[in-house]
Structure formats: C-alpha cells, structure tokens
Structure 1
Amino acid sequence: MILTVKNLSVAYGTKEAVENISFNVKAGEVIGLLGANGAGKSSTIAAVLGIVKSNYKELNMLGKSPILHRKEVFQEVGVQFQETNFQDKLTVSEACEQWESLYNTTADVPQLLQRLGLVGKETQLVKSLSGGERQRLAVLLALISNPKLVFLDELTTGLDTRARRMLWKQLLEMKENGLAIVLTSHYMDEVEALCDKILILKEGKTVFHGTIQEAICTSNKPSMESAYLYFAGEEDELCVHF
C-alpha cells in the first residue's frame, strides 16, 4: 500500500475539523477527496503531510511514517497546493532548477515542460505567467521528483478545457505507470475522468467512501454530480436557492 490513513482526526482548539477519517491508496490508484468548502479536505491533506498536528491510529506513506521519516519519504512524494507562492524574480527555468536541487533523482524536465504546455516559457518570469500557466507549473513541480505518490489540491482551477484535458491525459499515463494520486476537486467531470475511489466529507466526517458507481447506486441518483450533492448535503441548499 502506498498510503494508509486510519482514524485521522484534526482539531483547531475545541473545533473538530476532521473526525476519524480512514482511507488507503495503492500504486496506480487515484482517490478523490470531495466536499464543500470547509468540509475538511485541506485539513486532511495537511495532516497527512504533517503540516498540521493530528491524532491517528495509523499514518503510513511508502512504508514509513511521514512524520518521523520526512526527509526520506518526501524524496518520493510530490505536492501541489491550491495556491503556490513563487519568488517575484524567478523564471520558469529557475523554479525548475530550484525544485530539482531538493531531490536525489528527478524526472525529465524538458519532457514535463512539453507535456504540460510550458515549452517556450522557460525564460519567462513566473509572476508574468497567466493563472492557468502558473497552475500547470505548480503541477510540474509536484511531478519533478518522479514521485510514487502525489497530492493535487484543486488540480485544474483556472485552466481552460483544453489545458484540463491535456493535464488529465498526462496524469492518466503516469497512473498507468504506477503513480498514486490523492486529489481534491470541485469538478465532477474531473473526478469521473481520474478517480478510482472517492471519499466525500461533510463537516469533517466521512459520509461516503467507495467507487463512483457505488456512489451513484447508493444515492439512487442519475449522475456523479447529483450523488455528490446528495452526500455533501448541498442538494438541500440548491432547493432553498431555487
């Protein structure tokens, strides 16, 4: 198993942000963490990465503790945060070199630039890139270590349809080669294109864990989007507004 999370909980003061969440990810598998804003997705990822303090029964990444063996584990783990802040005067090429220096071995950077549509941007300042281009660069940097596991937080926010599909294609190819992915997304077409399993959170608790087809069947809804709204509790809000 690439990642095992058992009974993970996160509290901020007296507020329980995440409560007893459990899931695992195998090589070549994609799991989607879904839920409304504030449901606990980001807190879950931050806890798994050891960025925020948490309580858990088991937290195992690549056969080791990501808390106790951080340096070793994160040589083979990539992370793309929803917002990545870059230095003002950093070029795309310099950003790649900076990230490469953090790892013992790296992927073929020119090939990643090609696959993510960033060829010709190497000498451009990162701050001058469009929002979509910066997002693609953040994904590239998450993949630069040739990881076995990658966390992608709101993967295609700000990308147009063509760029989104190009990125999906790249990730599906890497998935076929064994890459494990933990993904958060508000786009159900993205979830359907990439995810083998989904975990839907509501107020920090798991309200569904299984495959997309199981979510549709269990909810007795006609589509993944309808099933998601049902489990996440957003269906009632829609009825109120409309």
Structure 2
Amino acid sequence: MTRIATAPNEQGTSGNAVEVHGIVKHYGETKALDGVDLTVRQGTVLGVLGPNGAGKTTLVRILSTLIKPDAGTAFVGGYDVLRQPKQLRRTIGLTGQYASVDEMLSGYENLYLIGRLLDLSRQEARSRATELLERFSLTEAAKRIAKTYSGGMRRRLDLAASMIGRPRVLYLDEPTTGLDPRTRNEVWDEVQRMVAEGATVLLTTQYMEEAEQLAHELTVIDRGKVIASGGVAELKAQVGGQTLQVRPAHPADLPEMARCLREHGIPVATFSTDTGLLSVPLTGEEQLTAVVGVLGTRGFAIAGIDTLVPSLDEVFLAITGKPAAPADAPGADATPATLAKEPVA
C-alpha cells in the first residue's frame, strides 16, 4: 500500500525543491526502485548517475506524476506527487530520453502551443517561443513542420518545449543523448541560465563531463538503490584523492628519489621507468609540501610536477563496478515502456 504523508505548504519548509523518502516501485518481479531517498536543494542541479537499468527514469516518471510509486513519499515544490498532481504539474518541466513533438506542427507552433497550455498570454507565448528557437539555433527552421527536422533538431525543440514555461523544477532525463558538442553546450548554457534565475534541475545523465559541468551534487543509483551521494569533489575523495606525480630531469634518479622519500617517512612513493614518473598518493597539502621539500633539499633536478585527481568516470566505475555507457548510447531503464514527454498543463 502506498504511504501518503501530509503535504507542506507550497513554498516548502526545508529549502528543498524535491524531497523523496523511501520510494519503491515494482514491475512484476523486477524492483525498479528499492527505497530511494534524495533531496534537491532549491536553485541547484542534482545529477543522478547510474548504469542502464538502475532506475533513473522510473524515478523521473514518479516525480512527474506519470506513474505512481508502490510505497514511499515524494514532494516537488511543496506538492505531494500523489495527492496534488495537478498543482505539481504546473510547476515542472520535463524532457524524456527521446524527443516527443507534434510532427505536424512547425517548430514555432509546437512551442507556442505549449506556452498557451501553460497559461502564457498570446504575446508572452510568441515572445518565449521566438526566444527559445533562437537559443537552440532553430530560428531558420521555425516555420518548417517538425517531421522534416533531423533527430538533433527534434531533440533541441523538445528541450525548448520543456523550458518555455520557466518551470520552477525541471527534469532532464539524459537530455543531450545524440546531440553534437555545440548543441550540447547550448543546452548546458540554457540550464545554467535557468538555475541562475532560480530554477531547480534534476538531471539524469551518463555523460560524466555533463555531470561535472552542471551538477552541484550527485546521487548514484544502482539496482534501484542509492549507493553514494555528495559533491563531485567529495565522491572523488572517497575513491582515492590526489596523486602527486614528479618527473625528474634525469630518469636515472627515480630509484634514489623513492628511497630518499622512504627515509623521510613517506613510504608510499612508487616510480615507473616506462613513464619516467615518481608517484606519491597525497593525504593532504602538508604531504605535498614535504615531498617537494625533501626532493629539493637533496638536490634532485625536477622537470615537472603535477597533481592528479580521479576522473568522474573512475569514480562511477569504482562505486558501481560498471563503466559509464558510451556517449552515443541511448539510456535504458528498468521500465516497461519508453518515457513519453507530456505537456504539463
């Protein structure tokens, strides 16, 4: 039985735009979500990461009132997803994994129609449609019917439609899959512009660069459970932190440099004659200073020094045990049907 809680006031009481507690969803024997908890602070971007089938799209469908959870509670903009779906829909925008536009209408007509359904005035709907067509490089195709658009153009039109009403909370479910780098950057710019204006974004993605570019915090889901959460730097620190790499001017000095560091209480130094690098895992700034100081005091000539942190791809692999999906692979999820975008009227 679904548990229903009393909704807070419209503005919310916690400073969170989205609050999810113990959400469960089954599809037959498949448990798509298994007690998910997460929060999204107002005016921020939460990146939701996870391998294909992790449950990301199921979560988005629940938070956009397209499906009901089997258990748990969720509030968006202060509205209960079960008890106040109509009010909630007026505060959100949604872009699913696949573009969904009216192919018999022009690009401009698609956006104007969505604007009017969202109660924009005729003038405001026209102005907003024109503005977003320009932002997504669709002005020249504005009067063409959407069925003549390329896949990338449809995707950009779909994204524009989700943003036309300036939603308080925007769901982007793998929004830049299949987009070229320039268009992807345009989408990122628009998301950052909306957040700067006060919007909140829940972003599911398998592009690690996208998560680093946009997300203030990350939640990692696997097999329907939240297995990690925190800021990008925080998750990277959990995996292993920084490594100092020193390149001596004379590669023959590598063994002696490592021995010298061990004598000064830094036993974790290793070197590779193939790369010509000395590597030291760092536990803090003090250790970095100590390594450089010891090598300098002993008179070793150093050609270069660099500090490395694990990439978000490495973090993803370490946490989930699986690599992120290829950049051109469409996302799949543990749901019986593709998420279709619906106007939030």
Number of residue-to-residue matches in the alignment? 235
Give CA deviations for 1:28-82 in whole Å, capped at 9, x if unaligned.
1001111111011111111222222213443111111122222222112100011
Match in the other structure for 2:101: 86
- The CA distance in 2 between the partners of 1:147 and 1:103, in whole Å, is 10
- 8 Å contact from structure 1 (residues 30, 181) kept in 2: yes
- By how many angstroms is 1:132 displaced? 1.3
- By how many angstroms is 1:88 displaced? 3.4
The one of 37, 46, 65 equivalent to 1:31 is: 46
- The CA distance in 2 between the partners of 1:230 and 1:167, in whole Å, is 29
- The CA distance in 2 between the partners of 1:197 and 1:88, in whole Å, is 36
Please identify, of 103-112 and 188-197, the stretch whose mean Cα deviation from structure 2 is larger. Answer: 103-112
Give CA deviations for 1:86-110 in whole Å, capped at 9, x if unaligned.
3332211221122122212367221
- The CA distance in 2 between the partners of 1:114 and 1:187, in whole Å, is 25
The one of 320, 325, 328 equivalent to 1:232 is: 320
Q: Secondary structure of 1:120's match?
A: helix
The one of 224, 231, 234 equivalent to 1:211 is: 231
Letter in 1 for 2:101: F
Match in the other structure for 1:77: 92
- 8 Å contact from structure 1 (residues 6, 56) kept in 2: no
- The CA distance in 1 between the partners of 2:81 and 2:32, in whole Å, is 21
Match in the other structure for 1:240: none
Match in the other structure for 2:181: 161
- By how many angstroms is 1:146 displaced? 1.0
% identical aligned pairs: 28
Match in the other structure for 1:188: 208
Unaligned runs of 5+ in 2: 1-15, 242-309, 324-345
The one of 217, 223, 226 equivalent to 2:311 is: 223
- The CA distance in 2 between the partners of 1:125 and 1:104, in whole Å, is 24
- By how many angstroms is 1:217 displaced? 0.7
Normalising by structure 2, we get a TM-score of 0.65
Match in the other structure for 1:151: 171
- The CA distance in 2 between the partners of 1:100 and 1:173, in whole Å, is 19
**1:122 and 2:137 correspond:** no
Give CA deviations for 1:140-195 in whole Å, capped at 9, x if unaligned.
00001110100011111111111111211121121111110011111100100000
- 8 Å contact from structure 1 (residues 200, 207) kept in 2: yes
Unaligned runs of 5+ in 1: 236-242
- The CA distance in 2 between the partners of 1:94 and 1:45, in whole Å, is 27
Match in the other structure for 1:132: 152
Match in the other structure for 1:111: 131
